[in-house]
Structure 1
Amino acid sequence: MSVASVGAVVLDCPDPRALAGFYAAVVGGTVEGEGRWVDLKVPGGPVLSFQEAPGYVPPRWPEADRSQQFHLDLTVQDLDAAEKEVLALGAKPLDTADGSRDFRVYADPAGHPFCLCAC
């Protein structure tokens, strides 16, 4: 028996609505709310929430002095196709994978690391 269940995964960021829109374009779902707190309701998944953080400083992957704090693993069918899409949406690559791995690491527009993982 568990003590609790996941209510939401919350990401601090400078612009909650913009970052929720980025993730909505990547994983689907409905963006709800305005201002300092915005939710992304993902069908069949946890709620992703975005909280305004004045003075937000993004993590630097993989540097220990500004560690990633957390990251999202997003499962995809085709790594190459998914990479093209997230880059077009504003993601930035964080590594130079040679194609031999089944995952790739990126930063979202606010600098949070996330991985695209082949299923």
Structure 2
Amino acid sequence: MIADLQCVVLDCSHPAQLAEFYRALLGGEVNRWDQRWACSDDWATLHTSSGLVLAFQRAADYRPPIWPDPARPQQFHLDFGVADLDRAQEQVLALGATVLDVAADERSWRIYADPAGHPFCLVHHLPHSV
């Protein structure tokens, strides 16, 4: 092993606002003290209950990706497992997400953008049987 994943960093215009969006989606604590970095107007973090840390970094002249335009590609995306796609969709839209894929047919996933334009997917996740 060469490294441990410390966090996933998302560029954006408003780090604190985007951290709050993901806190409402995933739970956790925004800007919890962590010796690995200092929070500021240009850097916010979200420590989730699963142990994942997302960080949000202010980028000068931030330009969001445009899905699926290769001239401004998505750069990355996050997949979130949910038990009920319809309910989860209502919740993320209420938080400020936008729908990127309007063809919500019988697929087991749907594609959205967070308030800063980063694509993410809600994926139907069946509970594991023991």
Task: Tell me the TM-score normalised to structure 1 length.
Answer: 0.96
Unmatched 5+ stretches in structure 2: 32-38, 126-130
Residue pairs, 1:83-102, within 5 angstroms: 83-102=89-108
Q: Deviations over 1:35-89 (max 9, x none)?
A: 1000000112320000011100000111111000000001111000000000000
Whole-angstrom distance in 1 between the partners of 2:88 and 2:12? 23
Aligned counterparts of 1:99 and 1:64: Cα–Cα separation in 2: 24
Residue deviations 1:94-113 (CA, integer Å, cap 9, x gap): 01123311100000000000
Secondary structure of residue in 2 paired with 1:65:
coil
Q: Which amino acid aligns with 1:15?
A: H
Query: What CA distance in whole angstroms lies between the structure 1 residues aligned with 2:122 and 2:113?
Result: 11
What residue number does 2:116 align with? 110
Aligned length: 118
Change (3 A) 1:45 1:102: farther
Q: Please give the residue correspondences for 1:1-119 in structure 2 after superposition, counting only pairs within 5 Å.
A: 2-32=1-31, 33-119=39-125
Structure with the greater alpha carbon radius of gyration? 2
The Cα shift of 1:14 comes to 0.2
Runs of 4+ in structure 1 over 4 Å off: none
Displacement of 1:92: 0.4
Structure 1 residue ranges without an equivalent (≥5): none
TM-score (normalizing by structure 2): 0.88
Post-superposition offset of 1:5: 1.2
| In 2, Cα distance between equivalents of 1:105 and 1:50 | 21
Percent identity between the two aligned chains = 53
Summarize deviations over 1:16-36 as a string: whole Å, max 9, x none. 000000000001110003410
Secondary structure of the corresponding residue to residue 75 of structure 1? strand
Is contact 2:104-2:110 (8 Å) kept? no
